[in-house]
């Protein structure tokens, strides 16, 4: 690990699985008993806003009862101790990376939520985002403009992920790209390994099973995130 200075880590639903948050494709292609098209697309929201708002209200409530696991905590300790550049790009919309950071005394984590955050609401009238821990089903007023036009701040299928420029700049500078707990099925995140390789980074996969893109990685280790990630962080920090 001697030549590694800049690290980009991509995390997915698998990193939060051992905290009791369902992954996407865990339940036979259904997500919490719903087809993805019925709850995670702009068309679904236009067709049946109550169904979509209720679905996200339940998820928002549920994640607040979950706690970070050993994988989140190991990544937070890497964030605190890594002397070079580090960016944790997460596809997750939970806040467990941040809570793990807070648990070990980090004021700020180097985490970028490319698919949005459950604990934000986005106003379609004024475009502002507000911290949101309650429900949206009763159409509360936006704290910024007063309009009842809030939606979950989640990037749905067919929408553009956030902060792609920043992610590509980090990938361009990365010496090491690590993908953790992601199936490699959702683009553009699934393509980051190829981008990182083209930019000259070493690549490592840590996942329960081989992902769809596993053959693109220089090295792949398979097992539970709580074990693999903690061991890898010890290795990279040389402790
Ligand atoms: P995914 O559900 O498609 O894949 C999860 C991957 O994690 C699988 O390859 C699985 O084998 C692996 N996995 C499961 N348990 C694991 C464990 N204990 N340790 C290590 N790996 C484990 O998830 P994805 O690739 O992140 O894509 C799904 C999309 O759904 C994302 O865009 C995300 O926004 C959203 N999502 C987010 C959450 C969350 O915020 N926690 C949960 C579900 C879905």
Q: pTM score, two decimals?
A: 0.95
In this predicted model, what pLDDT tens digit does every residue of 160-192 receive, in sequence order?
999 999 999 999 999 999 999 999 989 999 999
Average pLDDT, the chain: 95
Pocket of ligand 1 (CB under 6 A): 12-14, 16-18, 21-25, 91-94, 115, 181-183, 185-186, 207-209, 211, 224-225
Cα separation of 57 and 154, whole Å?
A: 12
Residue 220 CA, ligand 1 centroid: distance in Å: 17
In this predicted model, what pLDDT tens digit does every residue of 193-238 receive, in sequence order?
999 999 999 999 999 999 999 999 999 999 999 999 999 999 999 9
Cα separation of 211 and 112, whole Å?
A: 22
DSSP track, 172-196: HH-SEEEEES--S-STTGGGHHHHH
User: Is the link from the previous residue into 21 a cis peptide, with omega within 30 of 0?
Assistant: no
Cα separation of 129 and 112, whole Å?
A: 15
Which residues does 148 contact at the CB level (< 8 Å), separation at least 6? 139, 140, 141, 142
Which residues does 107 contact at the CB level (< 8 Å), separation at least 6? none
Which residue's CA lies nearest to atom 35 of ligand 1? 92
Q: What pLDDT, on the 0 to 100 scale, is given for residue 23?
A: 83
Q: What pLDDT, on the 0 to 100 scale, is given for residue 32?
A: 65
Q: Where are the beta strands (DSSP E) in the chain?
A: 7-11, 86-90, 111-113, 116-123, 129-131, 150-154, 176-180, 202-207, 219-222
Closest CA to 123 of 137, 102, 144: 144
Q: Which helix (H) or strand (E) holds 56?
A: helix 49-63
Which residue's CA lies nearest to atom 29 of ligand 1? 24
Closest CA to 177 of 198, 160, 162, 161: 198
Rg of the Cα trace of the chain? 18
In this predicted model, what pLDDT tens digit does every residue of 89-137 receive, in sequence order?
999 999 999 999 999 999 999 999 999 999 999 999 999 999 999 999 9
Which residue's CA lies nearest to atom 32 of ligand 1? 91
């Amino acid at each position: 690990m001697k030549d590694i200075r800049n690290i980009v880590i991509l995390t997915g639903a698998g990193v939060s699985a051992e905290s009791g948050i369902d992954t996407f494709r865990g339940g036979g292609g259904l997500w919490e008993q719903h087809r993805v098209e019925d709850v995670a697309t702009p068309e679904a929201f236009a067709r049946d806003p109550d169904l979509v708002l209720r679905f996200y209200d339940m998820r928002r409530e549920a994640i607040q009862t979950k706690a970070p696991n050993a994988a989140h905590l190991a990544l937070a300790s890497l964030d605190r101790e890594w002397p070079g550049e580090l960016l944790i790009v997460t596809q997750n919309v939970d806040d467990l990376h941040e809570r793990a950071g807070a648990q070990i005394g980090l004021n700020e984590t180097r985490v970028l939520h490319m698919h949005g955050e459950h604990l934000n609401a986005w106003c379609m009238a004024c475009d502002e985002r507000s911290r949101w821990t309650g429900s949206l089903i009763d159409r509360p007023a936006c704290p910024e403009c007063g309009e009842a036009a809030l939606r979950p701040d989640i990037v749905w299928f067919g929408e553009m992920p956030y902060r792609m420029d920043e992610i590509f700049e980090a990938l361009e500078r990365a010496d090491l790209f690590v993908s953790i707990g992601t199936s490699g099925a959702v683009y553009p995140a699934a393509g980051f390994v190829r981008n990182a390789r083209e930019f000259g980074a070493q690549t490592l996969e840590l996942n329960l099973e081989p992902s769809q893109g596993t053959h693109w990685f220089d090295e792949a280790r398979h097992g539970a995130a709580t074990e693999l990630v903690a061991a890898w962080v010890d290795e990279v920090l040389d402790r």
